[in-house]
Amino acid sequence: MLDRKEINLDLSNKCTLECPKCARSQYLNKKEVPGNFLSDHDWSLIRDYFKCVNFCGVFSDPIMHPKLPEMLRDCFERNIKTHIHVAASQKPKDFFEECFKANPKARWVFGIDGLPSDSHKHRVNQDGEKLFEMMKLSKKYVARTVWQYIIFNYNEHTIEEAIQMAKDLQVEFLLQKSARFTPNDPLRPSEEYVLRRDNNGYNSDSQWSHERKNAKR
């Protein structure tokens, strides 16, 4: 790892959502997901070494770390390329705004799977309408705003509407198929929206969302 200049970070063991396929679900019957907040010391080592930081938790949502604004500011001041993926909506508006202001060069990706009023059907506990407002607010401050929309049965019929909304707001729209559906998954979409993998485990339609995006913008 030491010769890599890019890192993906789980900033803590915290998330307010309960997405059914999340890695956190293996700890559902336990008291808490193991781990803690990333310490100041560990962050100081990371920020002084890496050239690109991806705040995209596997077991957590980055917005849960109380020092996220400071970390984003550090990245900006050191010219560290910054990506941040959020889906948890529970932090106050002021906190989101402080984060946006801290790093004008950051790329923010908002996980809103469907129209804002429907997203909680996968993103359990999410206030999709609030997060959608935060996504709109981010446009005032940050370099790139992306609406990530994973396709499920409850939202496959609203894709065109969402694409138009993204266009109107001038945010990037990232439509994604998932390969994680079991045959009887209650959220499984139509077969054309299920991601296929070839025998080597590679995504056989990796260009799909890119082409889809270009076709509609």
| Residues at the site binding ligand SF4, with contacts judged by CB under 6 A | 15, 17-19, 22, 24, 57, 60-61, 87-88
Least separation in angstroms between residue 150's CB and ligand SF4 is 10
Q: Which is nearer to ligand SF4, 22 or 106 (CB)?
A: 22
Q: Which is nearer to ligand SF4, 30 or 41 (CB)?
A: 30
Q: Which is nearer to ligand SF4, 57 or 128 (CB)?
A: 57
**Do 52 and 7 form a contact (C-beta atoms < 8 A)?**
yes
Single-letter residue type at 46? I
Distances (CA, A) of 131 to 36, 111, 118: 25, 9, 12
**Do 42 and 7 form a contact (C-beta atoms < 8 A)?**
no
Least separation in angstroms between residue 3's CB and ligand SF4 is 28
**Do 137 and 110 form a contact (C-beta atoms < 8 A)?**
no
Classify 121 as helix, strand or coil.
helix
Q: Which is nearer to ligand SF4, 17 or 72 (CB)?
A: 17
Single-letter residue type at 38? L
Length of the chain: 217
Least separation in angstroms between residue 215's CB and ligand SF4 is 28
Least separation in angstroms between residue 20's CB and ligand SF4 is 9
